[in-house]
Amino acid sequence: MPKQDKHLATSLPALEHSYRGSNPLVLRVGSSIQERRLDKYLHGRFSNFSRAMLQEVIKAGGVRVNNQPAKPSLKISPHDLIEITLPELPSREISPENIPLNILYEDDDFLIINKPADMIVHPARGNTHGTIANALAFHLASQSDEDEEDKTVELPEALGEFRPGIVHRLDRNTTGVMILAKNTIAQWKIARQFHDRKVEKSYLAIVHGIPDLTRDRVNAPLGMHPKLRYKYAIRPETGKDAVTFYEVLERFRGFSLLKLTPKTGRTHQIRVHLAHIKHPVVADNMYGGKPVYPWQLKNTEPVAEDPIIGRCALHASTIAFTHPTTKQIVRFEVPLPPDMQNLLDLLRKFRKI
């Protein structure tokens, strides 16, 4: 038995409660299994997931048997190899918190929100409260209470204890459009689109300097910084592939407005890539960006005043993906937040070329 299969087979009980989705698992069917349906076999292995949900995962192409597409009713045989990508298991660590969400769109499957600056997406060490996930848990809990009172609509059973439907992340100080899933199947289907790079995203950034080319591609592998664990860096030998396309939308003296289209979704990708080409994002102090003060743009004597923008000038402006239920392409766009718009207005006034 291959080493990977043996490890998975002997650790499945623990794996069921620790698996966090998105990464494919490979299972080898035991020699004692005879003519069992695929969906029943997987439900026996992953009892935390309902059989109906597993059937949806299979139908959506999330399961392959012997490297071939499968159906829920497929009869498996001893030593078959099953590759499966599951949604995340319910998190029991997220507490609902009454934090307002700027909701742009909502239906039974997901919400589209306009994420503010200085807000973390998911609880992590040192930041266990005040996150998007806590706010979503409260929002779903409130809906559940209303539904029970009206007795007209019920939340899907797979939602469990108001599990946060996080399918992608934005950095703490990046603003803009973000998808939050409301049920397990929607979460899995949208997350799968991110995994397969079928989600179209674009960002706007105000950067230092003006790139030589109006349009170009940055193709530079990313990995953990060799010395600073909280940073990322270009790692040609060990990094994961990372590609970002950019387009110069406006030029100013000493600055430019860029549209960015990442083809991969690495952590800090846009920020590191822009720093790599010597055009860091304004106020991104982690990767070389500097704060900008009004007196600098006006070319006057330095005075004590606050910077025009107090965080990284990066904004997720648009996103497009396939609706998990209707199968239609949906697209959402969010305008620049006030702080970035103010900086842009001042650049147009004082630094216009």
Read out DSSP for 166-200?
B-----TT-EEEEEEESSHHHHHHHHHHHHTT--E
Q: Which domain holds residue 25?
A: 3-84
- Residue 15 has a pLDDT of 41
State phi, psi for 3 to the nearest 5 degrees: -60, -45
Please indicate, yes or no, whether residues 204 and 158 belong to a single structural domain of this protein: no
Q: Which residues are catalytic?
A: 171
Please indicate, yes or no, whether residues 19 and 51 belong to a single structural domain of this protein: yes
- Residue 153 has a pLDDT of 28
Please indicate, yes or no, whether residues 331 and 272 belong to a single structural domain of this protein: yes
- Residue 149 has a pLDDT of 43
Please indicate, yes or no, whether residues 154 and 237 belong to a single structural domain of this protein: no
CA dihedral defined by 165, 64, 321, 142, rounded to 10 degrees? Answer: -20
Q: How many domains does the chain have?
A: 3
CA distance 279 to 223: 20
What's the pLDDT tens digit per position in 13-25? 434 444 445 567 8
Residue 313 has pLDDT above 60, yes or no: yes
And the tokens for 341? Answer: 């718009």
Tell me the pTM.
0.75
SS3 assignment, position 42: helix
Single out the residue in 54, 84, 114 at which a domain terminates.
84
* Residues contacting residue 326 through CB under 8 Å, at least 6 positions apart: none
Please indicate, yes or no, whether residues 210 and 333 belong to a single structural domain of this protein: yes
Residue 91 domain-assigned (yes or no): no
pLDDT confidence bin for 52, thresholds 50/70/90: confident
Mean pLDDT of 277-297: 96
Cα atoms in the Cβ-side hemisphere of radius 13 Å centred on 123: 17
CA distance 265 to 343: 27
